[in-house]
Amino acid sequence: MAARSHAPVQGEPVQGEEEYHDDILHPSPMPFLFVHVACLAAIWTGVTAPALAICAALYVVRMFGVTAGYHRYFSHRSYRTSRVMQFLLAALAQSTWQRGALWWAAKHRHHHKHSDTPDDVHSPRHRGFVYSHLGWIFTAQHDATNYDDVPDLAKYPELVWLNTHDKLPGLLLAGLAWLLAGWPGLVVGFFWSTVLTYHGTFMINSLAHVHGKQRYVTGDDSRNNWWLAIITLGEGWHNNHHAYMASTRQGFRWWEFDPTYYALRALAWVRLVWDLNEPPEAIVRNEKKLGRGVIEKTARHLAASFPVHTIAAQVRDAWAHTPTIAELRERAQTARAQAEAAIAELHLPQVPTVDELRQRAEQMYATTPSLDDIVARAREILLQAIAAELLPSPERA
């Protein structure tokens, strides 16, 4: 069944979430800005055919370093390789000047753990498009590498050393581009391709959580986007990826263009990499039940789509001159769960029914065999929220 392309309203306030503040000027964005400004030097160096060829080649090769290195290997360990090849993958990825491989992997693992929650590193839902695209990189809290999140990588001293000297591979590559094609090779070949690789990568953090379609319920806003898959060598199948992160292949269907996977398959033929993970057929066919964490996240998102304050006010008005509310208050003093059960048993036209929750869920989410579980949990959350509004705890009363 075709997936819905419903997207949550961007910038919608989240219940209980405090306003976010951070110092976007630390660490300094000057090196990042310099790379962009350096592209303008092509006005003086000129744009030559060899420089353009270097730009195109470096974009493809370094985007492969991002997708096959930073992402599918270091972040998710979706295949295996030798220690030497591991170091070379890290160096290739870091030639993009997107920080160290261990820093990148730690941030990305944190993103998946908290995807599109207030704790996410770069969620468009909570921080907006600009912040999720690049603003988060310049915040103090994201400056250091959290080695506790990558213990499997931090045990290799050569990776830790390379992570500490994250600019070195890019500097060497810049020098090589200059040697091959002079100043146009440096400006057009290196700096242009660097900026293109930056924003191709960043669009997965921002646009791939806003535009596209969802085939799978993943508890977040990840989406499949074919044109992002083209410019990022297969990373645009982002909803597929969030449905099964351990898969080396992100284009789950044969028509889903995933050149990073094809290249890794070629490397596997010559035994430079091996044990490439494939998505289970039950996942691909969307027949596998969702995990408890995904059900909980999705149910809370569904429940939050209903105006709890308005519903509680309507119920309160309906009970204004009846003994029901007083009785429920008395019951709530001994057990809030009893009050929630009583609210569930009463006929309250203001409270969404199971069928109404199901209809809303079918509009908001892709087809899933766990829809009943999501709806049931969402109703529990709604009833708890309504009870909290109608029957405040003694501390709030």
Cα–Cα distances in Å, from 173 out to 2, 194, 277?
45, 11, 31
Quick one: DSSP state of residue 274? E
Q: Coil, helix or strand for 314?
A: helix
Q: Are 92 and 58 in contact (CB under 8 A)?
A: no
pLDDT value at position 321? 55
User: 232 is written with which tokens?
Assistant: 């990022």
Q: With 0-12 CB in 10 A as exposed, 13-18 as middle and 19+ as buried, what is 375? A: buried
User: How far is it, in rounded angstroms, from Cα 232 to Cα 64?
Assistant: 8
For residue 48, is pLDDT > 60?
yes
The stretch 180-193 carries a mean pLDDT of 96
Q: Are 209 and 238 in contact (CB under 8 A)?
A: yes
Report residue 350's pLDDT band, with 50, 70 and 90 as the boundaries. Answer: low
For residue 47, is pLDDT > 80?
yes
Report residue 389's pLDDT band, with 50, 70 and 90 as the boundaries. Answer: confident
Cα–Cα distances in Å, from 153 out to 90, 156, 276?
11, 6, 18
User: How far is it, in rounded angstroms, from Cα 222 to Cα 366?
Assistant: 12
Report residue 17's pLDDT band, with 50, 70 and 90 as the boundaries. Answer: very low
Q: Are 364 and 6 in contact (CB under 8 A)?
A: yes
User: How far is it, in rounded angstroms, from Cα 104 to Cα 29?
Assistant: 17
Cα–Cα distances in Å, from 142 out to 10, 72, 122, 228, 316?
23, 21, 11, 25, 45
pLDDT value at position 391? 67
User: Helix, strand, coil proportions of the chain in percent (round to 5)?
Assistant: 60, 0, 35
Q: What is the CA radius of gyration of the chain?
A: 25
Closest residue by Cα to residue 249 from 281, 201, 222? 281
Q: Are 89 and 264 in contact (CB under 8 A)?
A: no
More confident residue, 276 or 301: 276
For the chain, the maximum distance between any two Cα atoms, rounded to a whole number of angstroms, is 86
For residue 14, is pLDDT > 50?
no
Name the β-bridge partners of 274: 80
The stretch 66-79 carries a mean pLDDT of 97
Closest residue by Cα to residue 44 from 189, 183, 193? 183
pLDDT value at position 158? 97
Where along the chain do its domains lie?
A: 30-284, 292-390
Kind of pairing, strands 80-81 and 273-274?
antiparallel
Closest residue by Cα to residue 167 from 73, 72, 35, 36? 35
301 phi, psi to nearest 5 deg: -65, -40
pLDDT value at position 351? 74
Name the β-bridge partners of 224: 213, 237
User: 367 is written with which tokens?
Assistant: 């087809």
For residue 397, is pLDDT > 70?
no
User: 96 is written with which tokens?
Assistant: 């993009």
Listed ranges 133-142, 192-201, 367-376; the one with the highest mean pLDDT = 192-201
pLDDT value at position 3? 43
More confident residue, 177 or 344: 177
Share of the chain above pLDDT 90, in %: 54
pLDDT in tens, 301-346: 888 888 878 877 777 776 665 555 556 555 555 555 555 565 555 5
Place of tokens 């293109």: 196
User: How far is it, in rounded angstroms, from Cα 182 to Cα 184?
Assistant: 6
State which amino acid sits at residue 8: P
Q: What is the 3-state secondary structure (H, E, C) of 123-185?
A: CHHHHCHHHHHCHHHHCHHHCCCCHHHCHHHHCCHHHHHHHHCCCHHHHHHHHHHHHHHHHHH
